[in-house]
């Protein structure tokens, strides 16, 4: 072999090796969690979270129960709002107009914070709710709420229209928790914490559900919050395991990320490109983050 051919071959081999190394480094950088806020800046009831279009992250129970905290892109946390006496928030969502919706589980409410005035009001209420827990939102601003009964290990699903009309969709579920709408708006994903199931439903034009399918059952640990990226992959917090698992809509596991605490409660997408995942973690009462390859579907909708 001539020196020239040897040099070309060696360069090609090195190029492959370097490319593999760069890809490995990128993968490591993408899925490496880091703290965003100090330990115990939030209570052990930290949940939510949701990002606005300015890159701020909002999570419930900042410093004490019954509050909403605001965390800037620089990680500076402060009180955003106090909820009415007796109300405690759980899941948070924004619509495309910037209005915030909060699941208020003790009072069986979904609360609304007006984007322009900051006024807090009851957007929806139903006494038949166990405790509205996590929220999903579609492109038209209709909400879906999980509604577990922890004592009975059962749960319900609700739809709250963009006008505040409440509709029971399912009352024969396990402990419904994480909930999300697919990028095309045609499917609703729901997980059950105690039963460790992840389900898919078809969404009809009127918002009703059909064709319930089991995507995957896990052998151990519980679930909590859940979000989709723009490709439809599900990001599910594994409560008790201390991870976020990334799973395709077909149920194939792609990645599992250590999130620096055993009790991740929920997750959202944010950052300037929508590729930063923020995770609320209950063991240390803080927000952590990691980078991922694709932006979140809600982040993309709210940016449009």
Which are the catalytic amino acids? 224
Measured CA angle at 240 (ends 132, 174), to 5 deg: 40
Query: Measuring CA to CA, which residue among 183, 130, 193, 125 is closest to residue 156?
Result: 130
* Whether the Cβ atoms of residue 56 and residue 74 lie closer than 8 Å to each other: no
> In 3D, which of 141, 140, 231 has the Cα closest to residue 182?
231
For residue 14, what are the contacts with CB-CB under 8 A and spacing of at least 6? none
Residue whose token pair is 């701020």: 56
Residue position matching structure tokens 């019954």: 66
CB-based contacts of 196: which residues, under 8 Å, 6+ apart? 217, 218, 219, 220, 221, 222, 223
Could you tell me if 189 and 203 are in contact, meaning their C-beta atoms sit under 8 angstroms apart?
Answer: no
| Residues sharing a CB contact under 8 Å with residue 52, sequence separation 6 or more, in sequence order | 58, 94, 98, 302
- Backbone dihedral angles phi then psi of residue 9, each to the nearest 5 degrees: -65, -45
For 165, which DSSP code? -
- List beta partners, residue 281: 264, 286
């Amino acid at each position: 072999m001539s020196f020239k051919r040897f040099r070309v071959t060696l360069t090609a081999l090195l190029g492959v090796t370097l490319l593999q190394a760069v890809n490995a480094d990128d993968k490591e950088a993408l899925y490496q969690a880091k703290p965003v806020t100090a330990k115990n800046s939030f209570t052990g009831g930290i949940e939510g979270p949701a990002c606005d279009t300015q890159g701020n992250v909002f999570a419930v129970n900042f410093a004490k129960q019954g509050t909403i905290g605001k965390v800037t892109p620089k990680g500076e946390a402060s009180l955003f709002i106090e909820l009415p006496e007796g109300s405690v928030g759980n899941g948070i969502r924004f619509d495309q107009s910037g209005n915030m919706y909060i699941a208020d589980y003790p009072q069986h409410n979904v609360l609304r914070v007006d984007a322009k005035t900051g006024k807090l009001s009851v957007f929806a209420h139903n006494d038949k709710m166990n405790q509205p827990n996590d929220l999903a939102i579609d492109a038209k601003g209709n909400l879906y709420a999980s509604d577990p009964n922890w004592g009975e290990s059962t749960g319900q699903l609700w739809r709250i229209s963009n006008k505040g009309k409440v509709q029971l969709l399912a009352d024969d579920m396990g402990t419904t928790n994480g909930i999300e709408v697919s990028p095309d708006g045609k499917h609703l994903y729901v997980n059950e914490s105690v039963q460790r199931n992840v389900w898919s439903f078809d969404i009809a034009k009127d918002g009703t559900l059909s064709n319930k399918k089991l995507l995957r059952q896990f052998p151990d640990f519980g679930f909590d919050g859940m979000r989709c990226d723009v490709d439809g992959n599900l990001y599910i917090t594994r409560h008790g395991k201390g991870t976020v698992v990334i799973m395709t809509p077909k149920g194939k596991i792609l990645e599992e990320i250590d999130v620096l605490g055993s009790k991740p409660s929920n997750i959202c997408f944010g950052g300037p490109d929508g590729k930063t995942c923020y995770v609320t973690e209950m063991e240390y009462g803080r927000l952590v983050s990691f980078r991922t390859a694709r932006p979140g579907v809600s982040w993309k909708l709210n940016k449009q």
